[in-house]
Amino acid sequence: MLAAIGVTVAIVIALYTFFVHRVQSEWWRERTQAQNVITATMVHEYLAGVMLSDRHQEVLHFLQQLQSKNEIWRGRVIKVDGTIVFSTTTQEMKHATLATPPELFREKHILHGVRVEDGHQIAIAMYPIQNRASCAHCHDDKKELLGAIVLERSLEPAVATVARNRNLLLLYGALIFVIVGVVVWLLIVRLVAQPVHNLLAQMERVRAGDLTARVPAQSHDEIGRLTDGFNSMVESLQKTTEELRESHERQIQQAGKLASIGELASGIAHEIRNPLAGIGAAVEVLAESAKDREIVGEIRKQINRLSATLRGLLDFSRPSEPEIMPCDVGELLKPMLALTRPDAQKANVQIITECPDNLPPISADPQQLQQAILNILLNAIQAMPHGGTLTVRTDLHVNRLRLSIRDTGVGIPRENRERIFSPFFTTKHHGTGLGLAITRSIIEKNGGTIAVESEVGRGTTVFMEFPVSKQEASDAKNQSAGH
């Protein structure tokens, strides 16, 4: 950037010097020609006076005086035919003729211009001498012109002056270039290079992992805004990193708790399962001879409920590994919807399905996935005790299939949303709190994700996303490339 600024300044100074030199050259040329014309006018008036007084020889003396004072380089008085009558070069007098332009005696006005002689520029002025009535005693009164005054002035002094001025301009231009260069360099170092260097240094600290790095704001220009943006970005990154660290620590703690709970639940389930099986067998024997069969039936019902709870504990503590295979989500949904439709009809819940038939299969364990879908469908129906609408929709999002189940039930309060997937958390009067925890575990083990959006009084939507089968994704990619 500094080089570009230097080149720009140099070009500007060079152009300025060129135009000033050109203007000065023209001005000195015109000034010399104007002086030559003025001198020719003066000689014309002087010549008229001395010629009327018959002091002819003073003309040559006057021209020589002008030459000695460097007013002219050479002076001549010629006749109309070009014969030189007077000349500062005396050997020319009456022995040489001077070729004159035809328009000199035709147009009867002063001619001036520049010619080159022996490599030197000469300004020349030609002043025609008109025949006056007072000249009749010496000249034929029928002639309109008697001759002309030809004065030549060297342009070398003007050229030398222009050259000196040019050299001064070049010197001043060089000084200005140096001064401007130094000032620009100092400004760049102060306003650009130093702030950028500080910014790069802090960026290196951030790259090394130090998120406390900050760049002090020193200006309100573009560099200052860049500094503010960098500080805001690092501060946001630091905040996000701390949140991720805290979240990771919470997840580790939660995972540890879940592992402990799983081990404890597994042990308790095994300890209770065998005695419970014995109790169940004893109740079956008692049921054959018991008088109060209603009480025995209630005991059997509670034993079955405890057995279901124990199975949930075992499923949560020791989930089986999924058998991944291509699955058609639409086909998996049909039996689950058929299974839950009676409960929905009892609760006055209308089921709406929006599932296209042309969606690709996903990679998952079909049995585990049906278990997870069934849990969510049952929860959705139970969330609408006064009836409502249950909408099941499937669509495709960039090689991932999304399954959404939306109800118009009571919704989930904000304070409970982060806890709904926690084991043993439930708001139902009858429930273990393991359903959603098992559902989340199943979906994640099958490579999917689950998320919940809810608004109290308006309902809840559960989103599940699963990767499309690799073979189907590859075929779809090849088809799009072929098109």
Sequence-distant contacts of 271-275: CB under 8 A, at least 24 apart: 272/306, 272/310, 273/307, 273/310
The CATH architecture one would assign to domain 213-318 is: Orthogonal Bundle (1.10)
pLDDT given at position 197: 80
- Sequence-distant (6+) residues with CB within 8 A of 245 are none
For 161-194, the pLDDT digits (tens) are: 888 888 888 888 888 888 888 888 787 777 777 7
Name the CATH code of domain 2-162 (choices 3.40.50.10190, 3.30.450.20, 3.30.450.40, 2.60.40.10). Answer: 3.30.450.20
For 237-258, the pLDDT digits (tens) are: 888 888 888 877 876 776 666 6
In angstroms, the CA 438 to CA 450 distance is 12
Share of the chain above pLDDT 90, in %: 8
In the predicted structure, residue 293 carries a pLDDT above the cut 60: yes
In angstroms, the CA 356 to CA 77 distance is 115
Contact 367, 438 (CB under 8 A): no
Residue 479: pLDDT band by 50, 70, 90 thresholds? Answer: very low
- Give me the mean pLDDT over the 193-215 stretch: 82
Share of the chain above pLDDT 70, in %: 79
The radius of gyration of the chain from alpha carbons, rounded to an integer in Å, stands at: 56
Where exactly are the structural domains of the chain?
2-162, 213-318, 323-482
The CATH architecture one would assign to domain 323-482 is: 2-Layer Sandwich (3.30)
- Would you say the C-alpha torsion 426, 427, 432, 435 has a positive or negative sign? negative
**Residue predicted with more confidence, 200 or 422:** 200
For 50-100, the pLDDT digits (tens) are: 776 777 778 888 888 888 888 888 898 888 888 888 888 888 887 788 888
| Burial class of residue 294, CB neighbours in 10 A (0-12, 13-18, 19+) | exposed
The structure's pTM equals 0.43
Q: Which amino acid is at 303?
A: I
pLDDT given at position 154: 87
Strand extents, DSSP E, 1-144: 74-79, 84-87, 111-117, 120-130
Plot region of 308 (φ>0 → left; ψ -120 to 50 → alpha; else → beta): alpha
pLDDT given at position 482: 46
> Which tokens is 446 given?
């099958």
For 338-349, the pLDDT digits (tens) are: 988 988 999 999
